[in-house]
Amino acid sequence: MEVEIRTDCEADEFWSYVGKKSNQRWTWYVIERKTGIILAYHNGKRTDKSCALLMDKLSVFPIRYYYTDNWQSYSKYIPSNKHIIGKDNTWKIERKNLNFRTHIKRLNRKTICFSKCEQIHDKVIGLYINRYYFMEGCYSKTANQRI
């Protein structure tokens, strides 16, 4: 007997800026609903192309439902029978957005600390995600050392 495992996920995007506030940089990402693990992310503009790049990264996962806000790009790339729209279903990823802004000073909206280069900006966010969301299982929580 073959068992098919399917997961539910939440998708969202948050903005920051590079150099000046008119040069917005968006981080798109998707988390698994039950565990909060980040499945994929993409840094770029708030365009359909960026959404498509994120969705391509998710093609390896057996996703049952996508929970998103009402941003129109999601509706273009997620089949309507798998897409559930509403802020009441995205509270976990919205909380993670707050964690990002709290932990990475350059993501605060009112700050004197900001990125001057898109590559560095994207690398800082990528390093944060890799360290705190991908490698978290590699560390013992009690001894704070690598297992």
Residue 102 has pLDDT above 90, yes or no: no
The confidence score (pLDDT) of residue 147 equals 47
Instruction: Please report which helix (H) or strand (E) contains residue 60, including its range.
Output: none
Q: Could you tell me the pTM of the whole model? A: 0.83
Choose between 84 and 110: higher pLDDT.
Answer: 84
- Contact of 49 with 28, CB cutoff 8 Å: no
Among residues 95, 127, 126, the alpha carbon closest in space to that of 27 is found at 126
Would you state the CATH architecture of domain 7-138? 2-Layer Sandwich (3.30)
How is the chain split into domains, by residue range? 7-138
- For residue 120, give the 3-state DSSP assignment: helix
For residue 28, report the phi and psi dihedrals to the nearest 5 degrees: -100, 135
